[in-house]
Amino acid sequence: MRSVDDLLAEGVSGRRVLLRADLNVPLDKQTGAITDDGRIRASLPTLAALREAGARVVVAAHLGRPKGTPDPQFSLAPVAARLGELLGTNVPLAADVAGDDARAKAEALGDGDVLLLENVRFEAAETSKDDAERGELADRFAALADVYVDDAFGAVHRKHASVFDVAQRVPRYAGRLVARELEVLTRLTTDPERPYVVVLGGSKVSDKLAVIEALLPKVDRLLVGGGMCFTFLAAQGHGVGSSLLEADQVETCRRLLAEADGRIVLPVDVVCSPAFSADAGSTTVVVEEIPEDQMGLDVGPRTVELFAGELSGARTVFWNGPMGVFEMAPFQAGTRGVAQAVAGVAGLSVVGGGDSAAAVRVLGLDEESYGHISTGGGASLEYLEGRELPGLAVLAD
**Residue list for the binding site for ATP:** 208, 296, 327, 353-356
Nearest Cα neighbor of 365 from 326, 395, 396, 397 is: 326
Nearest Cα neighbor of 48 from 82, 87, 19 is: 87
Query: Which segments within the chain are labelled E, that is strand?
Result: 16-20, 56-60, 114-116, 147-150, 172-174, 196-200, 221-224, 264-265, 269-273, 283-286, 295-299, 316-320, 348-351, 372-373
Active site residues: 39, 204, 354, 378
Residues in the chain: 397
Q: Are 241 and 293 in contact (CB under 8 A)?
A: yes
How far is residue 215's CA from residue 125's CA, in Å, rounded to a whole number? 35
Q: What count of other Cβ atoms lies within 10 Å of the Cβ of residue 258?
A: 10
Q: What count of other Cβ atoms lies within 10 Å of the Cβ of residue 193?
A: 11
Between strands 221-224 and 264-265, the pairing is: parallel
**Residue list for the binding site:** 22-24, 39, 62-65, 121, 158, 208, 296, 327, 353-356
Q: Are 117 and 60 in contact (CB under 8 A)?
A: yes
How far is residue 231's CA from residue 208's CA, in Å, rounded to a whole number? 12
**Residue list for the binding site for substrate:** 22-24, 39, 62-65, 121, 158
How far is residue 134's CA from residue 144's CA, in Å, rounded to a whole number? 16
Between strands 269-273 and 114-116, the pairing is: unpaired
